[in-house]
Amino acid sequence: MEGDISVESHTEGLTCLSHECKPFEEVTNGHSIHKPVTNGLPIGHRVKEQCNGNASLRSLPISALKQNGLLQTLAAGGEPMVAEESSELEKAREEWEAVESVQPAASEESVPTPLISFNEALQYFQTTDLGELLRNIQPTFRRTGLAAITHFFFGPPRLHRELLEERDLVFAIAQCSLDNSQAVHMRVLQTIYKRLVGGRLDCARYGDHWENIGFQGTDPATDLRGTGFLGLMHTLYFVMDPETLPLARDIYKLSQHPTQNFPFSVMSINMTRIALQVLREEALSKECNRRQQVVGVLNEFYVATYLHLFQLWKTQQKTISDSGYVLKEVELFAKKNPKQMMRRLEVFLKEQRAGAGPRGPSPDPQGQQGGSPSLGGARTGPGSGSGQGSKEKQMHFTGVCELPPDMEGEARLI
């Protein structure tokens, strides 16, 4: 070759991020003369805006490498991108900056589930197709032979025809299982938990926290056999009615006692089981006929039954080892004295409203006097046909589960 050829390393691009640096070599008359180089550049050789690729990469933050795509290229074992791609790099940088400016949206899980009222939950069951469940209910106790004849002549009156649909819907709800896919079901669970513990945030669907309010395990659904979703509906009524909420919390507080503790929710489900049995045996028919409603009467009877157990448990210093005996006693008394049970509840709530505080519990209700209880708007006396009482009459429980035959007449923790 003729002449001298000198190869200069030069910088391309705006930021010195991409350039080409070659070993310096002089060719003279066909012979090459190597000169010492440092970082790919000959010592003492003039270059235009000398900059070394590796040195420039070391001087940039990781974020800049990400913006220019260099980090990905180096990780892949390739060469840095050339300066001709500077326009694309600029575009990528703008897109990256736009992404960084986007604020993350608030997670739906961080928004507490709104509380649900008893009436709203009940209206959900009103509008749900429960035809299959209604075909499997047993709303009355089957009697045969002499027992049937005796009951016909000397037993309680039959439920009025116009109340049969409402009664059947109650037993249909008792056949409904807890469904994770139903928002109303989940809201009922969350409402019960929040009202009992006084919290505002949602809790997980499964976990030990359910044991804190008296379920047997991490999944409340496993405790609903025998009462179905009605067991949760009664607890919901208990904690959402402003008149009964103080009593519910008093019972819950006792359930946490160091020695007199008991599972609040499991015991509540047993109270629902007893109430269903009394309704099935038609012991509540007279009161239902008088008020022209079933739901309101059953709700109050459930609360009255739990109040009776609460007073026995507290005054007689019962413990969990006594639960079978106490449940049997409560069930027998409830079946024989439904009117007395409800009178006691009325007196208790009347004194509570008057600010007299809880009356000294008395297991013997014979001395209790007063009218029928008024809970959840189910009023008696003048004006009983108006207000919440009439609303309750128009609502129908649907999805109540049938008690298994082997559980009838038994008093035990479910």
> Quick one: which of 270, 233, 232, 267 has its CA closest to 251?
267
Strand (E) or helix (H) holding 339:
helix 338-353
Report the range out of 82-96, 151-165, 192-206 with the highest average pLDDT. 192-206
Query: Which residues on neighbouring strands pair with residue 32, listed in sequence order?
Result: 27
The per-residue pLDDT for range 68-118, each reduced to its tens digit, is 554 444 444 444 554 455 677 777 777 666 654 444 444 445 688 999 999
Least trusted range by pLDDT, from 131-145, 158-172, 223-237, 254-268: 131-145
233 with 299: CB under 8 angstroms? no
351-354: long-range pairs with CB below 8 Å, 24+: 352/243, 352/246, 352/247, 353/243
Provide the residue type at 285 as one letter: S
Least trusted range by pLDDT, from 101-110, 155-164, 198-207: 101-110
Least trusted range by pLDDT, from 77-91, 119-133, 314-328: 77-91
Apex CA 261: angle with CA 255 and CA 266, to 5°? 60
pLDDT at 158: 86
* Mean confidence (pLDDT) of the chain: 73
**Strand ranges, E, within 29-77:** 31-34, 37-38, 41-42
> Rounded to whole angstroms, what are the CA distances from 149 to 16, 139, 345?
105, 19, 33
pLDDT at 264: 97
Least trusted range by pLDDT, from 63-77, 270-284, 310-324: 63-77
Mean pLDDT calculated for residue range 134-145: 74
For helices 164-173 and 295-315, the axis angle rounded to 10 degrees is 50
262 with 214: CB under 8 angstroms? yes
**CA quadruple 35, 37, 40, 43: dihedral sign:** negative
Mean pLDDT calculated for residue range 203-212: 95
The per-residue pLDDT for range 7-42, each reduced to its tens digit, is 444 444 444 444 444 444 444 445 545 555 545 545
196 with 267: CB under 8 angstroms? no
With pLDDT > 90 as the criterion, what percentage of the chain qualifies?
49
- Residue predicted with more confidence, 34 or 363: 34
> Rounded to whole angstroms, what are the CA distances from 128 to 162, 175, 235?
20, 13, 21
pLDDT of 250 strictly over 80: yes
pTM for this prediction: 0.62
> Quick one: which of 206, 199, 311 has its CA closest to 254?
311
pLDDT at 356: 57
For the record, the structure tokens of 24 come out as 């310096």
